[in-house]
Chains A and B, each alone.
Chain A
Amino acid sequence: MPLLGGAAVALVAGIVGGLAMLVDEIPAPGSFIEQHGPLMALGFLGTLIALERAVALRRPWGYAAPAFAATGAVALAVGAEQMGRVALTAGGGWLVAVYLALLGRRQSREPYLQLGGAVAWPVAGGLWLTGRPVPELVVWFAVFLVLTIAAERLELAHVVFLRPIAWAGLLAAAALVGAGAMVSLFAPVAGARTAGAGMVVVAGWLGFYDVARRTVRGAGLSRYAAVCLLAGYCWLAVAGVLWAATGLATGRFLYDAALHALFLGFVMSMVFGHAPVILPALLRVRLPYRPVLYMPLVALHAAVAVRVAGDLAAAEAVRTLGGVLAALALLMFAGCAIARSGHDREVSGVGPVDIRIERGKPPLDAPTPQRPRASWHLRANAIVVGWLALTVVAALAGDVLPAPRWLLIHVFLLGAVSTAILIWSEHFTVALLRVRTPPQRGSLTRLGLLNVATVAVLAGVSAGPWQVAAVGAALVVGVVLWHAAVLIRLVRQALPGRFGHVIGWYVCAAGALSAGGVLGGLLAAHVGHGAVHERLHAAHAEVNLFGWVGLTVLGTLFTLWPTVLRTRMSDGTRRASRVGLRLAVAGLAVAVGGLLVDWRWVALAGLVAYAAGGLAALAPLADALRRRRPHTGASWMLGAAIVWFEVTVAANVVVIATRPAAEVAAALEPLLPLVLVGFVGQVLLGSLLHLLPAVLGGGPARFKENAALLERGWPVRLAALNLGVPLLALPVPQPVTLLGWALVLGSAMAFVALAVTALSRARLTSTGPAVAAEEATGVKGGRTWRQSLPALAGVVVGCLLTAAAVVVATTSVPGPSMVAATGSRTIEVTLSGMSIRPAVIEAPVGTVLTLRVTNADAQRHDLRLATGERTPMLASGQSATLKAAPLGEPVDGWCTVAGHRAAGMTLRIVPTSTAAASQPSSSTGHTGHGTATAGPTRLDLAAPMSPGWKPYDATVKPAPGSTEHHVEIRADDTVIQEVAPGVRQRVWTFNGTMPGPVLRGKVGDVFVVTFVNGGTMGHGIDFHAGATAPDGPMRTIQPGERLTYRFRADFAGAWLYHCSTMPMTQHIANGMFGAVIIDPPGLPKVDREYVLVQGELYLGEPGTDAQVAKMRQGGPDGWMFNGTAAGYDHAPLQAKAGERVRIWAVAAGPSSGTALHVVGAPFDTVYKEGAYMLRTDDPGGAQVLDLAPAQGGFAELVFPEAGTYPVVDHTMRQAEAGAHGLFKVSAP
């Protein structure tokens, strides 16, 4: 019990620390925050696992493992870090011993795996003790938990009977994770990637073999546990993908997402699932299952999803919400556990064995004969319906989304349409060729992969990083090629038949998507700018729409159209098909090639051939039409779709004939509604309308019922849709376009609602006769879906009412318009080369800004402000004006083209202080002129420092004994630091402090610096102390990247290091500098050593025009010793009379040097730039250590008596503006 107390302490401390990291206002001891990771992973989970093992061992000595772990956790929480590390490591070691003992007792396979996991714990502890930072240990934590949990699953749930091959698969996966950890010792990124890949495999393995997949259909506890497990596996897979994609090296957001998907999503879900089984074993307390346990589970997964989403979108607020929600979920679960177990304590005595048997029991419905094909089609179509619903949501959300137009198109085409094509083309192939269904597992895998890829593409393009999108595109291409291969194999297997020709269309369509996917991937990766980009775009659109969608639809219509019309196929179908396919495919290939290489007439010829092919293919359809007029909703919809297809093709031919290739994509834009809604959407709706009843099955009566349900009111829906389409496409006024959207979306939603009703009906009847019987007799015992319907409807209605009220309450609440307009300015804004110039606009509060936006790039851009104003999409060379509301708060602006915001096309409008607003300026012209300087013009150095301010520690530690120094330096440009008394502002830092950390060594020492860019812009690093070609190590790296900078300090001296990214004035002046101290050989020991790095202070937000102007003019607002002007006036440096004090000094500049002087105490030793100017035993003395910008050295002195000695830069202007500090010398 006290051991669990330790775990609880770790849990609470970890949670509080985690929350404090997210929410600044939450007070928490530093140890909670710093040790958040170890507290949760080792302190809490480690103790739990060790305790569980100790109980299983049933030997007193086994309890030492959890005891050590709990002690360590408590020590860590109270701040005794070293003791905590030692105790936790000891706990891990002891756990290994426990496993060895268990292994000796029972020869089976699981303990080996657990042992492998357990070994990772002490290894992590050992590395931790040697001073490795926690982020490098994360991989080891992951190995420990993942392997332990995987093995636990084997042991607890008897993961069916394993064939050796399956067992080998798990071992291989586990080995991969372990290998990742090993590799991480030398190459952290590669290690994390490897481990991530391993995790994906482990997740797949567990998801496949775990009995949970079957018990999830059970009820009660077994169902709950299975839900926990399966959800956990999903998160494991997600985490694995994130690890593999990021290597844990990209920015703090992705790092956070990767970690919490694993430790919260996977591990905590596992804890939730196993708690009802493990708690009884640990405490002899029963935790009976109650449905209320789902509450924390849902909260947990929602929390992780929100958090990961927030991380991926780099939205701080969303991430914080996720974190708070997760803490809430954990508390809820703890609450449930305590409430339930306290309640039922008397009834204990039920050991874990009972439950284990229940869980291990094969589920009752296990031997069901293979599920009919209809059922998986049914479920697969649910995905399509889901994507359709998402499309509607995306259309309604509109401008709220990051890349509205792009997302709408791709949610629909890549999500709904591609999924549907994948399902149905395979289904038709099987049906037409009369072959055996290919293995269902393969089909499901393809479907799953396609959807994963779609999500990756959507996320990658709209939120970044583009690599995710590129991987998604590659995955799409892979899936579709696999799909094509399966179709080809089916054709080979089949006997020659009447319908074989259709498959050719499907295969060619798949080929088209693979080409289109590659083009899309190139677009996402921003390969090629300007006109090249536009041509790629045009080719991408053409090949996907006319190839993937068009060819599939045409092919399908050969058989679908006669079926829908209930007539027979025309005789000439086969010939028409063959001719049509050849013409269309060849034409499309030529057209795409022509577009890519900018041969307009070739492209046109190709497209004409494609149109001819389409007409040839449509000939037999028209023939069928002559025989039988359309009479059902499905046939009318398909017919209308074909008409829209022809219209689109014709319009497309015209566009290509009249525009150069680079403008095709832009000119095609108005056609999109025709294609998307009129053709693709309508084909989809029409086919689903026709096919769903057949798929739902359930006998002729049910078929008729479903068909009637789906066709309800079809003429109205058809008319609405086809009226809406031209309204969307034509240049009509805004309200009419809105009407068009209403018609189209209303029609689509009506179908989705009907389809969902039909699907849920089918589901209801398939849940078994028991339910039906129960319903028939009206017994109200069980909770059927139907019974909760009124409540559900009530919730929906209530929420809708509330939402409507909230909308009414909050719309057009005047944020900015509260600000009175005080003046106006017009500013030229240029869009080009993935940037917006100027990137920052400063104006006094209340200014009405008019932005004249010009697109100087060769590709299309637009500009949208966060306050809602936006320009239309601007083609190359076009301009538009944008009038913003009177300026109140900072406003962000960006280009809404997919991916451009992430690529850096952002703008920020910053209000300057209200004082400046009193002089309304109405100048026209570029920024940089005439914006008044914000902030105080004179620093008040005597003002008190803010409470909680800590001075930069000026004491220098002696050089460590080793000759090789490993350092990680992380650039961060978001830190707020107190740069002068009472003045806090953003600075750019190495390792979070200005100046950066002091590195010290001896001549000949090797420094291996891992430089990580954790900032928001490019940074680099330049060590003056090393001799290396600057090209590699000093290069600028982008946010999230890292590099290793290795140098040997061949020369003694006090050296500067600084950010090497241009413009260096800004990077250095904003704080990216630090000192490297290389002791001269034979440097004598002194009583005290201090370092003073002098820098210049420029007030204001870094990078703003006003601040940069001051740098250019060389007019700093102040000077600082170690990052705070006059900081050591408020926190004097200490010394004793008679002690020898050595002051190292580096002048960081960027523009001014120093004349370091201590008032009242001459220097007896001066060392500057690698040589002694004055030695201790020389008769002379020195008054100043003078350093030009970037020079360094030291001076030594002995304070004669107790007192207060100012240390100043004797350039008095600089001393009086902050280069000033005090030595407080006490009596010896």
Chain B
Amino acid sequence: MTWWSVARFLHVLGAALWVGGQLTVSLVVLPLARRLLDEQRRGQVLTAVGRRFGLLTVAAFLPVQLATGVAIAWHKGVTWTSLAEPGYGRILAAKLALFCAVMAAAGAHGWATGAGRSRLARAMAVTALAGSLGVVLLATALPAT
């Protein structure tokens, strides 16, 4: 039990909260909101949920993930050149790229919601969800050394 395990713990916890939060919203909150709330209330609730989640993402999730992630990578001895090497580096690079894509999709979701383009917003939300599952997949594929 060192400080490195704390960093790993925070990194995993952050990922769990973010992916889990998305899943909860998509699979639990949204269907129930559709069934139980009328059009107007639903809009209000979902907008509020989205705002809060976005705030959480930007204010807590991203800083924690970036900080702990960079720290762990540094601890592992990852360098820019090693990112291109097959194996750990390549998988990590792919994971980072996918993570950036997911963040872009999430950002696009926020923008599209604000701009009233609900279909695009929905597509982007689902993209972000599927992509973040992919990030988790790649994370589990990182060789544990």
Could you tell me if B94 and A809 are in contact, using CB atoms closer than 8 angstroms?
Answer: yes
- State the Cβ distance, B126 to closest chain A Cβ, in Å: 3
Could you tell me if A802 and B126 are in contact, using CB atoms closer than 8 angstroms?
Answer: no
Could you tell me if A813 and B90 are in contact, using CB atoms closer than 8 angstroms?
Answer: yes
Of B4-12, B67-75, B134-142, the stretch lying at the interface with chain A is: B134-142
Q: Give per-residue flags for A806-819: 1 if the beta carbon is below 8 A from chain B beta carbons, else 0.
A: 10111111100000
Could you tell me if A789 and B119 are in contact, using CB atoms closer than 8 angstroms?
Answer: yes
- State the Cβ distance, B135 to closest chain A Cβ, in Å: 8
B117 (CB) vs chain A CBs: closest residue:
A790
- State the Cβ distance, B87 to closest chain A Cβ, in Å: 6
- State the Cβ distance, A1156 to closest chain B Cβ, in Å: 55
Q: Give per-residue flags for A208-237: 1 if the beta carbon is below 8 A from chain B beta carbons, else 0.
A: 000000000000000000000000000000
Is B41 an interface residue, CB under 8 A from the partner?
no
Could you tell me if B119 and A802 are in contact, using CB atoms closer than 8 angstroms?
Answer: no
Is B128 an interface residue, CB under 8 A from the partner?
yes
CA distance A791 to B122 in the complex (A): 6
Query: Which residues of A sit under 8 angstroms from B32, Cβ to Cβ?
Result: none
Could you tell me if B94 and A790 are in contact, using CB atoms closer than 8 angstroms?
Answer: no
Query: Which residues of B sit under 8 angstroms from A810, Cβ to Cβ?
Result: 90-91, 141
Could you tell me if B126 and A795 are in contact, using CB atoms closer than 8 angstroms?
Answer: yes
Of B47-55, B57-65, B95-103, the stretch lying at the interface with chain A is: B95-103
Total chain B interface residues with beta-carbon distance under 8 A: 31
Q: Which single member of A794, A812, A813 contacts B126 (CB below 8 Å)?
A: A794
Query: Which residues of A sit under 8 angstroms from B46, Cβ to Cβ?
Result: none
Query: Which residues of A sit under 8 angstroms from B122, Cβ to Cβ?
Result: 790-791, 794
Query: Which residues of B sit under 8 angstroms from A802, Cβ to Cβ?
Result: 98, 130-131, 133-134, 137
Is B125 an interface residue, CB under 8 A from the partner?
yes
B130 (CB) vs chain A CBs: closest residue:
A798
Is B29 an interface residue, CB under 8 A from the partner?
no
Query: Which residues of A sit under 8 angstroms from B87, Cβ to Cβ?
Result: 813-814
A786 (CB) vs chain B CBs: closest residue:
B119
Is A716 an interface residue, CB under 8 A from the partner?
no
Could you tell me if B119 and A794 are in contact, using CB atoms closer than 8 angstroms?
Answer: no
Query: Which residues of B sit under 8 angstroms from A805, Cβ to Cβ?
Result: 94-95, 97-98, 134, 138
Q: Give per-residue flags for A770-781: 1 if the beta carbon is below 8 A from chain B beta carbons, else 0.
A: 000000000010
Q: Which single member of B94, B97, B128 contacts A798 (CB below 8 Å)?
A: B128
Total chain A interface residues with beta-carbon distance under 8 A: 21
A813 (CB) vs chain B CBs: closest residue:
B86
Query: Which residues of B sit under 8 angstroms from A101, Cβ to Cβ?
Result: none
Query: Which residues of A sit under 8 angstroms from B15, Cβ to Cβ?
Result: none
CA distance A791 to B118 in the complex (A): 11
Could you tell me if B126 and A809 are in contact, using CB atoms closer than 8 angstroms?
Answer: no
Is A719 an interface residue, CB under 8 A from the partner?
no
Query: Which residues of B sit under 8 angstroms from A400, Cβ to Cβ?
Result: none
Q: Which single member of A790, A794, A812 contacts B130 (CB below 8 Å)?
A: A794
Q: Which single member of A790, A798, A811 contacts B134 (CB below 8 Å)?
A: A798
CA distance A813 to B141 in the complex (A): 13
Is B113 an interface residue, CB under 8 A from the partner?
no
Query: Which residues of B sit under 8 angstroms from A791, Cβ to Cβ?
Result: 122-123, 126
The verdict on A798 contacting B95 (CB below 8 Å), with A805-B134, A808-B90, A809-B138 known, is no
- State the Cβ distance, A352 to closest chain B Cβ, in Å: 28
CA distance A794 to B122 in the complex (A): 7
Could you tell me if A801 and B93 are in contact, using CB atoms closer than 8 angstroms?
Answer: no
Q: Which single member of B90, B98, B126, B138 contacts A790 (CB below 8 Å)?
A: B126
Query: Which residues of A sit under 8 angstroms from B102, Cβ to Cβ?
Result: 801
A808 (CB) vs chain B CBs: closest residue:
B94
Could you tell me if A790 and B101 are in contact, using CB atoms closer than 8 angstroms?
Answer: no
The verdict on A798 contacting B126 (CB below 8 Å), with A805-B134, A806-B138, A808-B93 known, is yes
- State the Cβ distance, A296 to closest chain B Cβ, in Å: 17
- State the Cβ distance, A1026 to closest chain B Cβ, in Å: 59
Query: Which residues of B sit under 8 angstroms from A795, Cβ to Cβ?
Result: 126-127, 130
The verdict on A794 contacting B124 (CB below 8 Å), with A799-B130, A801-B98 known, is yes
Instruction: Specify which of B95, B102, B126 lies most central, judged by the most chain A CB atoms within 10 Å of its CB.
Output: B126
Could you tell me if A790 and B120 are in contact, using CB atoms closer than 8 angstroms?
Answer: yes
A791 (CB) vs chain B CBs: closest residue:
B126
Is A793 an interface residue, CB under 8 A from the partner?
yes
- State the Cβ distance, B111 to closest chain A Cβ, in Å: 15
CA distance A810 to B95 in the complex (A): 11
- State the Cβ distance, B92 to closest chain A Cβ, in Å: 8
CA distance A790 to B123 in the complex (A): 4
CA distance A1055 to B15 in the complex (A): 69
Instruction: Specify which of B91, B93, B123 lies most central, judged by the most chain A CB atoms within 10 Å of its CB.
Output: B123
B125 (CB) vs chain A CBs: closest residue:
A794
Query: Which residues of A sit under 8 angstroms from B127, Cβ to Cβ?
Result: 793-795, 797-798, 801
Residues of chain A whose beta carbon lies under 8 Å from any beta carbon of chain B:
780, 789-791, 793-795, 797-799, 801-802, 805-806, 808-814
Question: Besides A805-B94, A813-B90, 20 other CB < 8 A contacts?
Answer: A790-B122, A791-B122, A794-B123, A794-B128, A794-B130, A795-B130, A797-B105, A798-B131, A798-B133, A799-B130, A801-B127, A802-B134, A802-B137, A805-B97, A805-B134, A806-B134, A809-B90, A809-B138, A811-B86, A813-B87
25 A–B contacts from the bound complex (CB under 8 Å) = A790-B121, A794-B125, A797-B105, A798-B105, A798-B127, A798-B130, A801-B131, A801-B134, A802-B131, A802-B133, A802-B134, A805-B95, A805-B98, A805-B134, A806-B94, A806-B138, A806-B141, A808-B90, A808-B93, A809-B90, A809-B95, A809-B141, A810-B141, A811-B86, A813-B90
What are the 8 tightest A-B residue pairs by CB atom distance, in nearest-first order?
A798-B130, A794-B126, A802-B134, A809-B94, A790-B122, A805-B98, A790-B123, A809-B91
